[in-house]
Structure 1
Amino acid sequence: MGNWIQAFIYFVLRRLLHRRYDVEIRGLEQLEKLEGPVLVLPNHPAYVDPVIMVSHLRFGKSLRPLVFTDTYRSLLFYPLMKVIDAFEVPNLSAHSRDAHAKTTELIDNVAGELAGGESFLIYPSGRLQRQGYEIVGGSRIAYELLERVENVNVVLVRTRGLWGSRFGCAQEGEVPDLARNALVSLFYVLAGLVFFLPKRKVTIEIEPVDRNSLPLDSKQELNRHLESFYNADGGETAKFVPYSYFLGPRDFDYDAVQSKSAVDLSEISDTTINEVHEILEHRLERKLDEGEREPGTTLDLLGLDSLERMDLALEMEQHFGFRSDHVPATVGELCLLAAGKAPSDEQPLEVPDDWFAKHDRVSDHPEVLAETVAEAFVRRALKNAGHTAVADSLSGTLDYRKLLVGASLFSKRLAKLESQAVAIMLPASVAADMVILATLMAGKLPVMLNWTTGPGGLRHATSKLEASHVVTSKRFMDRLGIEIDGVEMFYLEDAKEGISTLEKLTTLLATYVAPGSFLRNLPTPDVDDPAVILFTSGSESLPKAVPLSHRNLIANMRGGIDHMNFQRSDALMGFLPPFHSFGFTATALMPILSGIRVVHHADPTDSRMLARMIAAYKTTLMFTTPTFMQYIVSSSEPGEIDSLRLVLIGAEKCPSALYEQTMEILPELDLLEGYGITECSPVVSGNRPGHNKPGTIGLPIGCVDTLVVHPESHEPLPLGETGILLIRGDSVFNGYYKYDSPQPFVEVAGHRWYNSGDLVSKDDEGFITFRGRLKRFLKVGGEMVSLPALESPLSEKFPADEDGPKVAVEGVEQEGGRCIVLFTTQEITLREANGLLKEAGFQGIMRLDEVRQVDAIPVLGTGKTNYRQLRSWIEEGSEVASDS
């Protein structure tokens, strides 16, 4: 763009700005003698100051401002950005490794342009002022540019008069909506007839400095020097200037805004807050003083720049398990992220109208229409093509026709992959559902990867199945930051770009004119061929590969549907990850194959969003674990989860405190405890609507038989006695894949049974009560000590909340005798803990040997307590005790 066009634009901008801003520039004459590239470094009190700066600083050079992409690409400002040759900057308000890499690349590019003679307007702080003074903090961009480019003129600029403007943070306590405020301002300008506007006095002080005179030994020294210049007069107090002599407010209460924006940590546990402080201290390599521990302390002030804040936020996500698109700016916001309470705009969720569309139902009773998964899906899709099938926040709502078209298109790409096994690593989502179905339609075997096991566990899974590719998304991998050796990544975004519009249209047309072709093109597996490979949770031992056949899965789905009396009019909230056996069968395949709508959310720990989605989508069904249920109940506002009519809880025992809390909020809810195990596809038993015995795991579903036997002799036991649960039926798998140890089956009463390894008892009505894992028993003096039994009264006293479990009991048998340890986040002594057990009726050998206070009880991605990790702590002697 020619310089004369820019000069004309800047002239027009100056004349327009003059109607509202009375700009005085001090030291402008000092710019005339500058030769070579110029780096202008101002403070940043408001969005409007870059426009004032580029239009008023005239020294014969084109001054390129750095502008965040949200502003750069907005419809309102994009033409201007192109005219003034602005330099686009990736937005770091949402943190990801991709944005991190782009920011590093940005610094490299700007340094190269500076060295080549370009001049730039760059704000060292990298963001708007949050207070009446400038904090550069740990920002690195000014330091890195000055360190890399020697022949550059440096111009420091201090702006006064804009703090308190509509375009700054003072009026809202946060970054304002630029486009909205620009339109409001335009209204007042026009209402004031352009020439009759109160003017805001703005002073710009310019000070060219010799680059070599700046303290460049470290970014901290340079940034403190810049702050001393920007805040030389102590900063400024917010000033309100009316937009009209005739309309609008005459003053503004800035103190009220500042008070409203304060971070409240009253509901965050001291343990979580202290852990955040420890992580910060490790990052800073020093102790925090008392003032720095205050919630309002900015991370800038602690010396962390935008990239370091992003790294810290990602570390916090991985450590605590909660996610947020918001990059914390203060110590208090870090604590909110750690507790799963990161700030949210809480805008009403937009639900597509077709989610609630009333379709003619052929039958009120859901049913699976074929004996293999892919055929059952295609038959359901052809039968109810226009019915709503699935939804999530990214894909919107898809009916069965769209889901069939998408799965068909992806199946053609997956069919070309070299290995028979296709590894899939996706969260609960429309994409995950589509990929699972596409893999089976391609005649491939889905292998569901549990990303919470880390790179080692993922590599073990892919090598065991000899999978050549992992199907995932760039967005998801960018968030996880995990790399898997030995496989090629199959990104859905790339595959989607490779699908032509013509292919999409012809596939869509085929659903109308040749629907039978979808059935004819399906592979024809045997019902006993594997339909998926899942992995055991690994809570007790290393994960084992569990192949589940078409017969297993469909028998389990049919048995569960009949047992729970689901309806086609139901809507399911699905958030369990598809590597979770319940997430795969019950919240991914079952609703799609049977005709029940399902809406997904990718993050099971995002309890606030889950509660909001239940409210927005009016879901009636939910399958979850006690941990995740506690998150949702604790995070929901009154009325938000009232639409739920049936919630099935499994994976762990439901604490009575959670049951009571939930029933108090939702007295009409059927809160049903059930039992499942990956090897059984997974549901084995469950309480039923209208036939519920709280404290039990219900009655066996129709596709299985169960038997309770003695742990050692395997002789059947009378009702009421505790023994090992054996299971047989169409939903029970046929053995672990590539497993060298003995398979978990026993012969009893002329039948082959799966040995669950779980201790249960049955009452005279057939209801099963879970007593614990056999592996979680220790033999002491010839008697069995149940670790879950010891844990139960302690977990009743200290129930799990949104921060996770507070207690867990694990033990090992050692040469010197047993060692039973209570791991807890609470302050409790060994004497007090054993006192609670004594009050619960335990005595003698039923006691604890040690208490260890920990920052957090380790959990798996499924929400289960990671007892294997606890056991390793005991064996290694780590996590030092606090048992006085």
Structure 2
Amino acid sequence: MGKWIQALIYFVLRRLMHRRYDVEVIGLEKLESLEGPVLVLPNHPAYVDPPIVLSHLRFGKSLRPLVFTDTYRSPLFYPLMKVIDAYEVPNLQSHSRDAHTKTTQLIEEVAGELNHGQSFLIYPSGRLQRQGYEIVGGARIAYELLERVDNVNVVLVRTRGLWGSRYGCAQEGDVPALGRNALASFFWVLAGLVFFLPKRKVTLEVHPVNRDELPMESKTALNRHLEGFYNADGGETAKFVPYNYFFGPREFDFDAVKKKGAVDLSEVPESTVHEVYEIVEHRLDRKLEESEKEPSTTLDMLGLDSLERMDLALELERQYGFRSDHVPASVGELCLLAAGKAPTDEQPLEVPEGWVDETKTSTDYPEILAETIAEAFVRRALQSANHTAVADPLSGALNYRKLLIGATLLSKRIAKLESKSVGIMLPASVAADSVVLATLIAGKLPVMLNWTTGPAGLRHATEKLEVSHVVTSKRFMDRLGVEIDGVEMFYLEDVREGISTWEKLRTLIATYIASGSFLSHLPQPNPDDPAVILFTSGSESLPKAVPLSHRNLIADMRGGIDHMNFHRSDTLLGFLPPFHSFGLTAASLMPLLSGIRVVHHADPTDSRMLARIIAAYKPTFTFTTPTFLQYIVSSSEPGELDSLRLVMVGAEKCPTSLYEQTMKILPDLDLLEGYGITECSPVVSGNKPGQNKPGTIGLPINCVETLVVHPESHEPLPQGEAGLLLIRGDSVFDGYYKYDAPQPFLEVNGHRWYNSGDLVAKDEDGFIQFRGRLKRFLKIGGEMVSLPALEAPLAEKFPADEEGPKVAVEGVEKDGGRCIVLFTTEDLTLREANDLLKQAGFHGIMRLDEVRQIETIPVLGTGKTNYRQLRGWLEEGSEVTANS
């Protein structure tokens, strides 16, 4: 019965097609003698050629077409797809490891169907033609199928006459919108009264081929053979055929479309372009010809199939930190992705329903309501149940009631995990907030994992804390491409599927009629028990595990709220990852516990999206690093950042050039520099609104005391003298976890102080001036040489931009003396660099010994310069291009 229905549909389709297309099939009679499964392999000039081929190749076989999921699932075509028994294919325009796996499975499944006698219509290129000839390139599906199936008839089809159709790429320069063009065609059909349409001449040349005659020694050989058949006549010139004899357009300027679609690399650094060439050459295992380096060179032409193109795009994302949902199709598009300039179809962001909360006023004080994290959250959630708590572009906006319900349901699953410590690996998001809170409600210890440390660093962290499970999401891991040995992944997607509607409803009802039960079921930790494990940044040494107690975190949050004079009407933009101490404490826990709305974005390097989020959600303040702020300011459009009244930067010195650039576009902004250390939960000091001294890291917050001592004698120093910064107070941790070396504490004046390892001085008003890391000083001839001080004037001359830092100074002491090196992306000689230092007032031993030009300055996931890697290059004697 099914075959008769299909035959009827194809008959009707053929008659409808005849109104617009004059189709001639050459060689159809050659198919009558075919026995067994058939694999039809046509070229693909337009979206309309599949129905033409399916309805005109009549030889007693039921062909199953492979159809991409976007078309397959379209409401307009889905019923037809089911009737003709189309085979759904994952869309590889969105690149991910999951799509990669599904495509591999697809090939195996289709091969199995062919071996069982099923026949298929498959396009070897896997995509629409982008020009008047077919490029199979590195596509693998035809080769993989023929490798797996011996007894299959191969039918090659060369379609001519459709290049230039509105259903192809010639008119738009890219893949056309199928639904929109179908509706436009329907309009023209009606306008032409169905029977009076100019016809487009189409020919289908059908050639059965003996499988044994195909060149199967390699994928490349087969694909070149297919291209030779499809393009035997030299390809096609785009042809426009009007839809009406009397009115409407009579011609089309195809050349203008070609010019419009050209890739412009004028704003991409030349160094980035050359790096992309090298990456592509490594992938191809050969050098690129000069002609192949043209921006318009498609990756198909280079022999890269859809899976290889996807892998290449993911590699560039991991290396450069920029993302795009579009898989690059050409060398030029690869360069744009690497430079963070991949084209996007920007639409104004829609703020989710419930985000605006007009019930809060500027007089409402943000208050933390308990002495442990889980209790403070539950009390806040019960008190502010209907107030907006958190949002992100993926999850929308959640009020406290919904957040409490989600965290409670998740906590019951996390409570069943075997180990006390639970790894958490998620970006800044509603999901990350929910998981941290759920883990604490479950009585477990959250271990915040820094995925930028790579597999070795992650394995080190999970082994040290004896983590058996890591909570994450498939979506995130799919994009990240990182694996952790020795642990089981606990995916949020699986958890959601396992929660019944009844359990959700029961928990919702409890928030109204049994709210006290949420408090009574909480664990009762001591405030001095660890609440979370973070890790040091690793910029100077291997990361160390930092246990922060409930007392540490809550003292720091309360101190920060008082210091900055926040209001509950404020809104925070939080995008630093939760493995970053500022990201967890200041941009996640602090707003959630105190009642301040927070909107998250998962990627701190996605500067363009961050600017758009600020424009849409209108946050009033944010915490960031100078590097990330530079990205945002450089990527923003006029007016997008106007809602910000306060920005606090830390983790590295804020360049004067960035301060001036930011204040120029936001003259009313309080751009404040602060100072924090993971071991101090993290905020130690900061400038205040209305009490700001640019160039300093401000005043200590009220929960800490600070002391400046001599770096060697540890004697307290008078005001104005630079020395070692010591810190004590409720926000200071109690020591590294499972740490064999001496703990970082000193006894001075009868008190135990945390040794920050940083050199500072205090001015007459008590403002702290940061002078650099003690570890980043070299002792030469009895004098201390500050590497950050040498770097500062060079960084002023060559400020960081959206591409990252341009200079970094590192040095080591060697047997033969010192070695202080300027690493730079600029074309700068040693003499020029030292002249700049002289102009800044440095003389004698305060000079550079070498300049090394490198493609990019290495940075950590937090945006900090990775000095440990630079120092490693010096200690290992790595060869880097040096300018003398």
TM-score (norm: length of structure 2) = 0.98
- CA deviation vs aligned residue, 1:572-599 (integer Å, no higher than 9, x gap): 1111000000000011111111111111
Alignment of 1:257-268 (within 5 A): 257-268=257-268
Q: What is residue 141 of structure 1 aligned with on the other side?
A: 141
Q: Return closer, same or farther for 1:360/1:644 CA change in 2, 3 Å cut-off.
A: closer
Q: What is residue 116 of structure 1 aligned with on the other side?
A: 116
Contact 1:850/1:881 (<8 A) preserved: no
Contact 2:645/2:668 (<8 A) preserved: yes
Distance 1:455 1:404 in 2: 33
Q: What is residue 499 of structure 1 aligned with on the other side?
A: 499
Q: What is residue 229 of structure 2 aligned with on the other side?
A: 229
Residue 363 of structure 1: how far off its partner (Å) = 4.7
Q: Which moved more, 1:794-803 or 1:755-764?
A: 794-803
Residue 691 of structure 1: how far off its partner (Å) = 1.4
Q: What is residue 585 of structure 2 aligned with on the other side?
A: 585
Secondary structure at the aligned position of 2:422 is classed as strand
Contact 1:854/1:879 (<8 A) preserved: no
AA aligned to 2:856 is A
Distance 2:528 2:190 in 1: 75
Residue 882 of structure 1: how far off its partner (Å) = 1.7
Secondary structure at the aligned position of 2:758 is classed as strand
Distance 2:773 2:528 in 1: 29
AA aligned to 2:601 is H
Q: What is residue 417 of structure 2 aligned with on the other side?
A: 417
Secondary structure at the aligned position of 2:45 is classed as coil
AA aligned to 1:733 is F
Secondary structure at the aligned position of 1:356 is classed as coil
Percent identical among aligned pairs is 81
Q: What is residue 427 of structure 1 aligned with on the other side?
A: 427
Residue 471 of structure 1: how far off its partner (Å) = 0.7
Q: What is residue 210 of structure 2 aligned with on the other side?
A: 210
Alignment of 1:310-321 (within 5 A): 310-321=310-321
Contact 1:681/1:733 (<8 A) preserved: yes
AA aligned to 2:636 is S
Q: What is residue 81 of structure 2 aligned with on the other side?
A: 81
Q: What is residue 550 of structure 2 aligned with on the other side?
A: 550
Q: What is residue 609 of structure 1 aligned with on the other side?
A: 609
Q: What is residue 695 of structure 1 aligned with on the other side?
A: 695
Q: What is residue 13 of structure 2 aligned with on the other side?
A: 13
Residue 246 of structure 1: how far off its partner (Å) = 5.7
- CA deviation vs aligned residue, 1:8-66 (integer Å, no higher than 9, x gap): 01011111111222212222122112222211111111111111111111111011111
Distance 1:185 1:827 in 2: 57
Query: 5+ residue gaps in structure 1?
Result: none
Residue 526 of structure 1: how far off its partner (Å) = 1.2
Q: Which moved more, 1:769-778 or 1:18-27?
A: 18-27
Distance 1:239 1:599 in 2: 51
Secondary structure at the aligned position of 1:312 is classed as helix
Q: What is residue 467 of structure 1 aligned with on the other side?
A: 467
Residue 210 of structure 1: how far off its partner (Å) = 2.2
Q: What is residue 761 of structure 2 aligned with on the other side?
A: 761
Residue 478 of structure 1: how far off its partner (Å) = 1.4
Q: What is residue 37 of structure 2 aligned with on the other side?
A: 37
Residue 357 of structure 1: how far off its partner (Å) = 3.6
Contact 2:299/2:329 (<8 A) preserved: yes
Contact 2:360/2:569 (<8 A) preserved: no
The answer to whether 1:671 aligns with 2:671 is yes
Alignment of 1:598-637 (within 5 A): 598-637=598-637
Residue 242 of structure 1: how far off its partner (Å) = 2.8
Q: What is residue 639 of structure 1 aligned with on the other side?
A: 639
Alignment of 1:210-289 (within 5 A): 210-245=210-245, 248-289=248-289
AA aligned to 2:555 is A
Q: Return closer, same or farther for 1:829/1:363 CA change in 2, 3 Å cut-off.
A: same
Residue 365 of structure 1: how far off its partner (Å) = 2.1
Alignment of 1:524-543 (within 5 A): 524-543=524-543
The answer to whether 1:858 aligns with 2:862 is no
Q: Which moved more, 1:783-792 or 1:634-643?
A: 634-643
Distance 2:363 2:511 in 1: 22
Q: What is residue 829 of structure 2 aligned with on the other side?
A: 829
Residue 639 of structure 1: how far off its partner (Å) = 1.6
Query: 5+ residue gaps in structure 2?
Result: none
TM-score (norm: length of structure 1) = 0.98
Alignment of 1:279-318 (within 5 A): 279-318=279-318
Secondary structure at the aligned position of 1:366 is classed as coil
Distance 1:660 1:268 in 2: 25
The answer to whether 1:652 aligns with 2:652 is yes
Contact 2:391/2:599 (<8 A) preserved: yes
AA aligned to 1:22 is D
Q: What is residue 815 of structure 2 aligned with on the other side?
A: 815
Residue 417 of structure 1: how far off its partner (Å) = 1.2
Distance 1:463 1:844 in 2: 48
Alignment of 1:840-879 (within 5 A): 840-879=840-879
AA aligned to 2:264 is D
Secondary structure at the aligned position of 2:447 is classed as strand
Q: What is residue 575 of structure 1 aligned with on the other side?
A: 575
Secondary structure at the aligned position of 1:733 is classed as coil
The answer to whether 1:564 aligns with 2:567 is no
Distance 2:802 2:294 in 1: 23
Secondary structure at the aligned position of 2:355 is classed as helix
AA aligned to 1:412 is K
Distance 1:451 1:247 in 2: 61
AA aligned to 2:870 is L
Q: What is residue 95 of structure 1 aligned with on the other side?
A: 95
Alignment of 1:278-427 (within 5 A): 278-361=278-361, 363-427=363-427
Q: What is residue 786 of structure 2 aligned with on the other side?
A: 786
Contact 1:422/1:444 (<8 A) preserved: yes
Secondary structure at the aligned position of 1:355 is classed as coil
Alignment of 1:447-486 (within 5 A): 447-486=447-486
Distance 2:402 2:248 in 1: 51
Secondary structure at the aligned position of 1:318 is classed as helix
Contact 1:124/1:136 (<8 A) preserved: yes
Residue 248 of structure 1: how far off its partner (Å) = 4.2
Secondary structure at the aligned position of 2:743 is classed as coil
Residue 270 of structure 1: how far off its partner (Å) = 0.8
Secondary structure at the aligned position of 1:811 is classed as strand
Q: What is residue 189 of structure 1 aligned with on the other side?
A: 189
AA aligned to 2:750 is G
Alignment of 1:19-58 (within 5 A): 19-58=19-58
Residue 361 of structure 1: how far off its partner (Å) = 4.8
Distance 2:755 2:6 in 1: 79
Q: What is residue 723 of structure 2 aligned with on the other side?
A: 723
Contact 1:268/1:339 (<8 A) preserved: yes
Distance 2:242 2:700 in 1: 72
Distance 2:442 2:247 in 1: 67
Contact 1:757/1:775 (<8 A) preserved: yes
Residue 249 of structure 1: how far off its partner (Å) = 3.3
Secondary structure at the aligned position of 1:297 is classed as coil
